[in-house]
Amino acid sequence: MPPLRKTVSSLHSRPCPEINTTLLTQLDLTDSQRGRNKLPRFVVRDNGPFNRVALWHMPQLQLEMLCCGPECQSAVFMSCSATRGIEVFRVKRDKELGDMMLTFLARLTTEVSRGQPPNIDLFWDDPAYHVMLRRLVRIGREVVHIATISPEDVQRSALCDKWFLD
């Protein structure tokens, strides 16, 4: 197994862990999108762990690091697959981005507290919102791949040796 503990501890901070699992079963809508009188079916399909951290995870990761306190300067994101191993990434904390996000969350809270749902494009005309979005994209591009853990090195319980596929 790769020296993950050593790799993670070399980040010089208390990283915030985030484990994301990929789905093992997926809805299969083939056969003309499972038309009339045909029930949708699930198929076993393991697409493996993702080879990058998707951009939609960035806001959550930044807020999790904020919640972990000032010592937390990064998050360790693991994309886990049921049968194909784990990919491990490091996401840096961006304090300025976190502050921007909190500003927009406060504004959203004010809008929601008025008792009416906010417009779907509530912040779209605000230039600061676009600055924040560009910063999220930049942080996403700076993600570092730390390790690949093969399926053989993933600890499994001896009590669960059947995949219930029979």
At 152 the pLDDT is: 82
Summarised one tens digit per residue, pLDDT across range 104-113 is 999 999 988 9
* Range in 4-13, 41-50, 137-146 with the lowest mean pLDDT: 4-13
| Contacts of residue 119, Cβ cutoff 8 Å, sequence gap at least 6 | none
For residues 76 and 10, is the Cβ–Cβ distance under 8 A? Answer: no
Q: What is the mean pLDDT of residues 127-136?
A: 96
Instruction: Tell me the C-alpha distance between 153 and 151, whole Å.
Output: 5
* 39-58 per-position pLDDT tens digit: 666 666 777 788 999 999 99
**What's residue 161's pLDDT?**
59
